[in-house]
Every structure is written in structure tokens, then in C-alpha cells.
Amino acid sequence: MGAVIGWIIIGLICGAIAGALVPGRTPGGFIGTIVVGIIGALLGGWIFGALFNFTADSWIGSIIVGIIGAVIVLWVLRKADVS
């Protein structure tokens, strides 16, 4: 449970960074970017944990994994936006 809370906190940071890295608009504005960051950090943590046996031992590693997950989620959301 503690790991999930950590990924949520990391997600807040990663969402803002990923929003700056991926061009385009995010539905929901700044709050939407943060929510996507949380989802991306959870997704990134899960994927890296399953594939590479990654554990959140350091903040820097967690932030990097969270940013990668958030960028993936933002990219998918922005490609799916047909408007």
C-alpha cells in the first residue's frame, strides 16, 4: 500500500514534467495533466516492476519511471483526441 501512495506522489511531479515534454493540449488542463501523471506513474511502476523487477528504491529512479509512464499515457490520450 505504501508503494502505491509513493507512486501517486511521484505522479503529481511526473504529470507536470510529462505535460511539458509531450506537445499538445491535455484534456482537463493542468489538473488533467496531474491525473494523467498519477495514472502514468502507477502504470510505469507496474510495467517496470513486472518486466524488470524494478522497485522504488530511489526517488530519482521512481521519477524517471513515472515520467516514462506519464509520457506514454499522455501520448496515447493526445493521439486518441480526434477534435
Question: DSSP labels for 4-38?
Answer: HHHHHHHHHHHHHHHHHHS-SPPTTHHHHHHHHHH
Residue 61 lies in a domain: yes
Residue 83 lies in a domain: no
Residue 55 has pLDDT above 70, yes or no: no
Residue 58 lies in a domain: yes
* pLDDT (0 to 100) of residue 7: 67
Range of weakest confidence among 19-28, 31-40, 54-63: 54-63
Q: Are the C-beta atoms of residues 54 and 48 closer than 8 Å to each other?
A: yes
Q: Which residue is it, cell 511526473? A: 14
Residue 70 lies in a domain: yes
Residue 28 lies in a domain: yes
Residue 72 lies in a domain: yes
Domain encompassing residue 50: 2-78
Q: Are the C-beta atoms of residues 7 and 62 closer than 8 Å to each other?
A: yes
| Between 78 and 7, residue with greater pLDDT | 78
Residue 80 has pLDDT above 80, yes or no: no
**What is the total residue count of the chain?**
83
Rounded-to-integer distance, Cα 22 and Cα 4, Å: 25
Q: In the chain, how many domains are there?
A: 1
Q: What is the pTM of this model?
A: 0.76
